Chain A
Amino acid sequence: QKEVEQNSGPLSVPEGAIASLNCTYSDRGSQSFFWYRQYSGKSPELIMSIYSNGDKEDGRFTAQLNKASQYVSLLIRDSQPSDSATYLCAVKTGNTGKLIFGQGTTLQVKP
């Protein structure tokens, strides 16, 4: 079992819709969770971090964490074509800064 799993997609949504990206992780002791966005041919950039169960909102983005289910998700409201990218889920393990990344989900927002 991979440590961090994501559906590779592509996930296709129409412009203006809500995009829902999901991620599961295997290390029950994980405490920190991140979403990175990576445009094609570019480097990953951090868009959200979440540490506690529940929801965390930042503009059109909402991260959701459920540690009991070992599940973290990212919702993008009012999706725009510029949101088309690969979204990487990352989980911090242990006491170091080491991040384990999922394979990423490719999101396509169609005008």
Chain B
Amino acid sequence: DAGVIQSPRHEVTEMGQEVTLRCKPISGHNSLFWYRQTMMRGLELLIYFNNNVPIDDSGMPEDRFSAKMPNASFSTLKIQPSEPRDSAVYFCASSPPGQTIETQYFGPGTRLLVL
């Protein structure tokens, strides 16, 4: 079975540009999480969807960040405009319904560098 799929795997962009990160969760999973990982701050939850509905977006750093989940098989995280401090690895994770909701399966991540 395919795991969580993220694209692109690497992204280099210039400050001020729009960046869109994409995620396809594991089929049948109904929760989706976007994380950001940096050396300084570690792994931080940005936003969490359940059944395509945003449940907790308290980790979204500011209005430049937005996330959508238009259907059960696709989500995007958009940064507009991007800044050098947004450079990080962005992970998408998904988890199945029921008691195993706490078991989160991570995608390979998108390594973002903003120049």
A residues adjacent to B (C-beta < 8 A)? 32, 34, 42-46, 49, 88, 92, 96-104
- Known contacts A43-B107, A43-B109, A97 near B42 by CB under 8 Å: no
Cα–Cα distance between A10 and B107 once the two chains are bound (Å):
25
Q: Are B102 and A43 in contact (CB under 8 A)?
A: no
**Can you list, as one digit per residue, whether each of B81-108 has a CB less than 8 Å from chain A (1) or not (0)?**
0000000000100010000011111111
Which residue from B55, B104, B108 sits with its C-beta under 8 Å from A46?
B104
The answer to whether A97 and B107 touch across the interface, beta carbons within 8 angstroms, is no
Residues of B with Cβ closer than 8 Å to A? Answer: 31, 33, 42-45, 48, 50, 55-56, 91, 95, 101-109
- Contact present for B56 and A98 (CB under 8 Å): yes
Measured between alpha carbons, how far is A55 from B10 in the docked complex, in Å? 40
Q: Given the complex, which residues of B lie within 8 Å of A88, measured CB to CB?
A: 42-43
- CB pair B42 A43 closer than 8 Å: no
Q: Assuming A43-B91, A102-B42, A103-B42, is B103 touching A96 (CB within 8 A)? A: no
* Chain A residues, Cβ within 8 Å of B45: 98-101
Residues of A within 8 A of B101 (CB): 97
Q: Is the CB of B43 within 8 A of A98?
A: no
Are A43 and B55 interface neighbours, CB within 8 A? no
The docked-state distance in angstroms from the alpha carbon of A88 to that of B31 is 21
Known A-B contacts A43-B107, A96-B55, A97-B95; A49 and B42 likewise in contact (beta carbons under 8 Å): no
